[in-house]
Copies of this chain bind each other. A is one copy, B any other.
């Protein structure tokens, strides 16, 4: 553990939402302090962090003070402005590294990277113009999803095309943002692998979880996922390949479509991932601690699963179910300390242990 942070060292976390909150708790278990940087007032992670800085991403004074107070910097979301990273990288190690962010911030770069590794993705085309979109539809099929290359999540910045006639409307919806067309993949279900890589290059994967989305937002993750033994191994090898290619340090979420022809990579997220929350109930070391271990230069923990778990997100008014859930046996509650519920707002999640 030559590079390992000693107890008492501090980890800076960019973003203070629920992921930062649970990362901060995990850091505390390892005797590490956390400093949250978030432009929003009263970030949820602030309730369990030693220090909170509320400042904009371009506030150089605040960024310098933040970096000066910590030993390593990580993040809970991938859309950190490039100039912010330029400054922070010059002051402290930022993990996962810049390349992982560059790849995952841009859907086109991401797809090029993944196919370059020999992995299968949905068919896709760069569509810088409406004419390019029309040509792409002619090539990869009349249906697909037009997505902005950058800054989309939870179904935002996306337009579904049911036929060539939708092209102009969908293109207009992008509002001039660079976009790519993704063809549809015929898949039976989606799984994700939460994979971790340490500073020495060791890789550890949690068991794949099976994801169910509603309206573009993750609803549940179930372990074990429905996967043939060969697919289970494929999923893990594929995740390891991605992490190694990026010289990645930290936890990554890798979303996969399960098809009769094999696994298709949907997208990667260079951070702890909503589909990995089940690890809090089913493993000795959860994804949050695994990420902290990695970025702190510790050895990775044992991610072996010892329980069957269904993770269910509490979205918007779902929080009204908490009093009933609190009475249920085998339900672990995780609330994020957010204010008023709004439609689509992730307020918490529960891990239901279905076989311990």
Q: Which residues of A come within 8 Å of B, CB atoms?
A: 1, 4, 7-8, 21, 24-25, 28-34, 46-50, 281, 284-285, 293, 298-299, 301-302, 304, 306-307, 319, 322-323, 326-327, 329-339, 348, 353, 356
Q: In the docked arrangement, what's the CA distance between A29 and B322, Å? A: 12
The residue on B at minimum CB distance from A286 is: B332
Q: Are A337 and B33 in contact (CB-based, < 8 A)?
A: yes
Which chain B positions have C-beta within 8 A of A298? 326
Find chain B residues with CB under 8 A from A34 CB: 47
Whether A31 contacts B284 by the Cβ 8 Å rule is no
Cα-based distance from A32 to B336 in the complex (angstroms): 9
A170 to chain B, nearest CB (A): 39
Query: What are 16 sample pairs from A and B whose C-beta atoms fall under 8 A apart?
Result: A7-B319, A7-B322, A7-B335, A24-B48, A25-B25, A29-B334, A29-B335, A31-B348, A32-B337, A33-B47, A34-B47, A46-B50, A48-B49, A284-B331, A284-B353, A293-B326
Nearest Cβ in chain B — how far from A315, in angstroms?
15
Which residues of the partner chain B approach A330 to less than 8 Å between Cβ atoms? 284, 302, 304
CA distance A7 to B322 in the complex (A): 10
Give the distance in Å from the alpha carbon of A4 to the alpha carbon of B333 in the complex: 15
Q: Contact check, A335 vs B30: say whether CB atoms are below 8 A apart.
A: yes
B50 with A47: CB separation less than 8 A: yes
Chain B, Cβ-Cβ closest to A31: B335
The CA-CA distance from A334 to B47 in the complex, in Å, is 19
Nearest Cβ on chain B to A297's Cβ, whole angstroms? 11
With a cutoff of 8 Å between Cβ atoms, the chain B residues found around residue A356 in the complex are: 284, 306-307
